[in-house]
C-alpha cells in the first residue's frame, strides 16, 4: 500500500466525526482470557489484567469497506479481529457505568487485524499498527437503531464466503458501559473516538488472496480483500 | 520557520516566534512568556513513544535487564489527550506511590516516510521539541507493558515550548538533556546514549507503518527519574531545543 491509498474514509461526515483515534481492549472477551489458563499467573504476566489493557490503532491503519489490505511478506496469515466499535458522541471523562452509554453516539464494525502473536507482555505495535490494519464500516449506526443491546449482537466472520466464526458481543469481562466507565477514569474519550469491545477467543486467520467479511446485527457487512505484499520499494518516494 | 510555537491568547489561537521579551505573535504583538497559554507546538498525528532507549535508564529500572541495539525497540502509542503544552499542569493521583518525570527528545515528522533507510531518515524530520512523558508506576501491569493507564493519562505528556526546525539541529545525537525538580538537577543525559538513534527509529518504524507529517516520536529517557508531588515544578531542558516547564497538580484541583 502506498501513501496514495491511505485513509479513504470520510472523517468529517455528519453527524459523527471519526477522529481517527481507535482504541482496543486486550482480552476483554471472558473465553479469550480463560483460554490462556494458568499462564496469566505465570511470568511474564504474573497476574490477570486488572484495569482495561488498551491499545491504539493509529491513523495509518485506518481503511474502509472494500479496501485491499496488504499481508506482510513475513506473515503467513492475518488474524481477523471482529470487533464492535463504540463511536463516542460526547466527551467521556469519569463517566459512571449507568451513564456511560449516553456518551456513545453509535456503533460500527471494526476488523481489528493483527499479525498473529502469542505474547502480550510488550505492546504489539509491529503486529497491530501496519498500514491498513483497521478496516471500519461500512456504516455508523446510532445505538437506538440497533436491533438489540450493544452487548447482545451476533457477530459473523466469513473467509471466501464461508462462515468461519459466529460469536456475539456479550461474554465480556467488561460490558460496553463498564468498559467505557473504567477507561474514562484515566483517559478522556472525545467525540469521534472509537472504543472497541474486544476481540473474541479463537479469532480466525486468513491469507493473502482471500476475501474476508464481518457482519454484526444491524451494522451491515464489512468486507476486505487480503493481498500479498509487493517487493520492497528500493527508492525513496518523490519529494 | 526556525522556532515556532502555538499559543492561545486573547480569544484565539496563534503561531508565535521567540522574542527577547518573551514571544511575538504572527500578528505582531509582543508578549511575556507567562501571558499566553502554550499549546503543543504542532498539529499532532500519531504519537509514538519509546521505552528503555537509554542504557543507563534500563539499568536503573532493572538490574537483571539488558537491552542493546540488537533488540527490537520497545515502542508504544499514545492518544492526543495525553498532551499538554508548556507551563501546563499534570495531575498527580493521590493513590499512587511513585509517579516520575521523563525528559525526552521529541522528533516531529515533516514528510511522509515509508520504508526509509536510516541514511535518509533525517530528511523526513520537520523538527524537534522537548517532551516530559510522565509515568505512574503503581499502575504498571505486565500486559502490553507499559500499559496505557501508566502512559496515556490525560495531560500526562508535556510537550513544547518550541518546534525547532531540523535545519537548526544537524545532529540529534549530539544534545545534552537535563531535568530539574524545584530547581534541583535530577536527570542528566545525552542523546548519544540512545540505544536506537533517531535515524534508526525512523527506519524501524517506517518499515511497517507509514509515518506522516505531524506524527511524533518520543525517543525515551535517561536515568535519574524521581518521584514528584503536587506543587512540584519540573523543568526538562534539551540543548538547542528548549526548556519545558510543567507543574504537578493534586486530585483536589480536578474535583476528585
Q: What ipTM score was computed for the predicted complex, to two decimals?
A: 0.93
Q: Does residue B225 carry a pLDDT above 90?
A: no
In our burial notation (b when 16+ CB lie closer than 10 A, e otherwise), range B202-222 reads bbbbbbbbbbbebbbbbbbbb
List Cβ neighbours of B134 (8 Å cut-off, separation of 6 or more). B90, B99, B100, B101, B102, B153, B156, B157, B158, B228
Least confident of A3-12, A69-78, A117-126, B106-115: A3-12
For B121, the closest chain A residue by CA position comes to A236
Q: Does residue B63 carry a pLDDT above 90?
A: no
Distance in angstroms (rounded) separating the CA atoms of residues A134 and A113: 6
The answer regarding whether domain A16-228 maps to CATH 3.50.50.60 reads no
pLDDT digits (tens, 9 = 90+) for B194-218: 999 999 999 999 999 999 999 999 9
Which of A58, A59, A230 to mutate: most B Cβ within 10 Å? Answer: A58
Q: Does residue A4 carry a pLDDT above 70?
A: no
Is B144 close to A56, i.e. CB distance below 8 A? no
CA A147 to chain B, closest CA, distance in angstroms equals: 32
CATH number of B40-254: 3.90.850.10
pLDDT digits (tens, 9 = 90+) for A201-222: 999 999 999 999 999 999 999 9
Contact criterion met (CB below 8 Å) for B4 and B23: no
Q: Which pLDDT does position B122 carry in this prediction?
A: 98
Residue B19: exposed, middle, or buried by beta-carbon count in 10 A (0-12, 13-18, 19+)?
middle
The rounded mean pLDDT for chain A is 89
User: What element of type H or E holds A64?
Assistant: strand A62-64
Is B142 close to A45, i.e. CB distance below 8 A? yes
Least confident of A1-5, B133-137, B240-244: A1-5
Q: Which pLDDT does position A20 carry in this prediction?
A: 65
Residues of B in contact with A123 (CB under 8 A): 74-77, 144-146
Which of B45, B139, B144 shows the shortest C-beta gap to A124?
B144
Question: What's the mean pLDDT in B180-197?
Answer: 96
Given pLDDT bands bounded at 50, 70 and 90, which one contains residue A15?
A: very low
For A190, the closest chain B residue by CA position comes to B81
Q: Which pLDDT does position A2 carry in this prediction?
A: 35
Distance in angstroms (rounded) separating the CA atoms of residues B16 and B12: 12
Q: Which pLDDT does position B227 carry in this prediction?
A: 96
Given pLDDT bands bounded at 50, 70 and 90, which one contains residue A77?
A: very high
Which of B46, B145, B149 shows the shortest C-beta gap to A58?
B46
Q: Does residue A236 carry a pLDDT above 70?
A: no
Residues of A in contact with B77 (CB under 8 A): 55-56, 58, 123, 125, 129
Is A186 close to B211, i.e. CB distance below 8 A? no
Distance in angstroms (rounded) separating the CA atoms of residues B113 and B123: 9
Q: Does residue A237 carry a pLDDT above 80?
A: no
CA A6 to chain B, closest CA, distance in angstroms equals: 9
Q: Which pLDDT does position A230 carry in this prediction?
A: 83
pLDDT digits (tens, 9 = 90+) for B90-125: 999 999 999 999 999 999 999 999 999 999 999 999
Distance in angstroms (rounded) separating the CA atoms of residues A197 and A173: 10
Distance in angstroms (rounded) separating the CA atoms of residues B149 and A191: 20
Q: Which pLDDT does position B56 carry in this prediction?
A: 79
Q: Which pLDDT does position B55 carry in this prediction?
A: 82
Chain A to chain B Cβ contacts (< 8 Å)? 122
Distance in angstroms (rounded) separating the CA atoms of residues B3 and A219: 47
Cis peptide leading into B105, omega within 30 of 0?
no
Nearest alpha-carbon partner for A26 in A195, A192, A148, A159:
A195
Which of A27, A54, A72 shows the shortest C-beta gap to B148?
A54
Q: Which pLDDT does position A8 carry in this prediction?
A: 39
Question: What's the mean pLDDT in A112-136?
Answer: 93
pLDDT digits (tens, 9 = 90+) for A38-68: 999 999 999 999 999 999 999 999 999 999 9
Which of B76, B80, B210 shows the shortest C-beta gap to A6?
B210
CATH number of B1-39: 2.30.30
Given pLDDT bands bounded at 50, 70 and 90, which one contains residue B224?
A: confident
Which single residue is written with the C-alpha cell 471482529?
A82
For B150, the closest chain A residue by CA position comes to A186
Higher confidence at residue B59 or residue A186? Answer: A186
Q: Which pLDDT does position A14 carry in this prediction?
A: 41
C-alpha cell at A73: 511478506
Percent of chain A with pLDDT over 90: 79
Residues of A in contact with B122 (CB under 8 A): none
Amino acid at each position: 500500500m502506498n501513501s496514495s491509498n491511505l485513509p479513504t474514509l470520510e472523517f468529517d461526515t455528519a453527524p459523527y466525526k471519526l477522529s481517527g483515534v481507535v482504541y482496543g481492549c486486550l482480552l476483554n472477551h471472558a473465553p479469550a482470557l480463560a483460554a490462556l489458563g494458568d499462564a496469566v499467573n505465570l511470568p511474564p504476566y504474573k497476574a490477570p489484567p486488572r484495569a482495561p489493557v488498551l491499545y491504539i490503532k493509529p491513523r495509518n491503519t485506518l481503511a474502509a469497506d472494500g479496501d485491499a489490505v496488504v499481508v506482510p511478506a513475513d506473515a503467513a496469515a492475518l488474524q481477523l479481529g471482529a470487533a464492535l466499535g463504540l463511536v463516542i458522541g460526547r466527551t467521556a471523562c469519569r463517566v459512571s457505568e449507568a451513564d456511560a452509554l449516553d456518551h456513545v453516539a453509535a456503533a460500527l464494525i471494526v476488523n481489528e487485524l493483527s499479525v498473529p502473536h502469542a505474547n502480550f507482555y510488550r505492546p504489539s505495535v509491529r503486529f497491530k499498527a501496519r498500514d491498513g490494519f483497521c478496516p471500519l464500516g461500512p456504516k455508523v449506526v446510532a445505538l437506538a437503531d440497533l436491533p438489540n443491546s450493544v452487548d447482545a449482537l451476533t457477530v459473523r466472520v466469513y473467509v471466501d464466503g464461508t462462515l468461519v466464526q459466529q460469536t456475539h458481543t456479550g461474554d465480556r469481562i467488561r460490558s460496553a458501559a463498564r468498559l467505557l466507565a473504567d477507561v474514562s477514569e484515566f483517559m478522556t474519550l472525545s467525540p469521534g473516538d472509537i472504543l472497541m469491545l474486544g476481540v473474541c477467543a479463537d479469532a480466525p486467520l486468513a491469507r493473502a488472496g482471500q476475501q474476508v467479511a464481518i457482519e454484526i446485527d444491524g451494522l451491515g457487512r464489512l468486507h476486505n480483500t487480503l493481498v500479498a505484499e509487493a517487493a520492497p520499494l528500493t527508492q525513496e518516494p518523490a519529494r | 520557520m526556525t522556532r515556532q510555537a502555538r499559543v492561545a491568547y486573547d480569544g484565539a489561537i496563534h503561531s508565535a516566534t521567540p522574542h527577547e521579551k518573551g514571544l511575538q505573535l504572527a500578528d505582531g504583538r509582543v508578549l511575556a512568556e507567562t501571558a499566553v497559554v502554550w499549546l503543543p507546538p504542532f498539529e499532532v498525528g500519531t504519537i509514538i513513544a519509546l521505552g528503555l532507549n537509554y542504557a543507563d535508564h534500563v539499568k536503573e529500572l532493572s538490574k537483571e535487564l539488558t537491552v542493546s541495539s540488537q533488540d527490537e525497540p520497545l515502542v508504544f502509542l499514545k492518544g492526543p489527550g495525553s498532551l499538554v503544552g508548556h507551563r501546563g499542569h499534570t495531575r498527580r493521583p493521590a493513590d499512587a506511590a511513585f509517579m516520575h518525570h521523563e525528559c525526552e527528545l521529541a522528533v516531529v515528522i515533516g514528510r511522509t516516510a515509508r520504508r526509509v533507510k536510516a541514511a535518509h531518515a533525517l530528511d523526513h524530520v520537520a523538527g524537534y521539541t522537548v517532551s516530559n512523558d510522565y509515568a505512574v508506576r503503581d499502575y504498571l501491569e505486565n500486559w502490553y507493558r507499559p500499559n496505557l493507564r501508566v502512559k496515556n493519562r490525560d495531560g500526562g505528556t508535556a510537550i513544547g515550548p518550541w518546534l525547532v526546525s531540523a535545519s537548526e539541529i544537524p545532529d540529534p545525537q549530539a544534545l545534552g538533556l537535563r531535568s530539574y525538580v524545584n530547581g534541583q538537577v535530577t536527570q542528566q543525559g545525552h542523546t548519544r546514549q540512545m540505544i536506537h538513534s533517531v535515524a534508526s527509529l525512523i527506519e524501524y518504524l517506517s518499515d511497517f507503518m507509514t509515518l506522516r507529517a505531524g506524527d511524533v516520536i518520543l525517543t525515551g529517557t535517561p536515568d535519574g527519574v524521581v518521584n514528584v508531588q503536587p506543587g512540584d515544578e519540573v523543568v526538562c531542558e534539551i540543548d538547542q531545543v528548549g526548556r519545558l516547564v510543567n507543574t504537578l497538580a493534586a486530585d483536589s484541583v480536578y474535583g476528585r
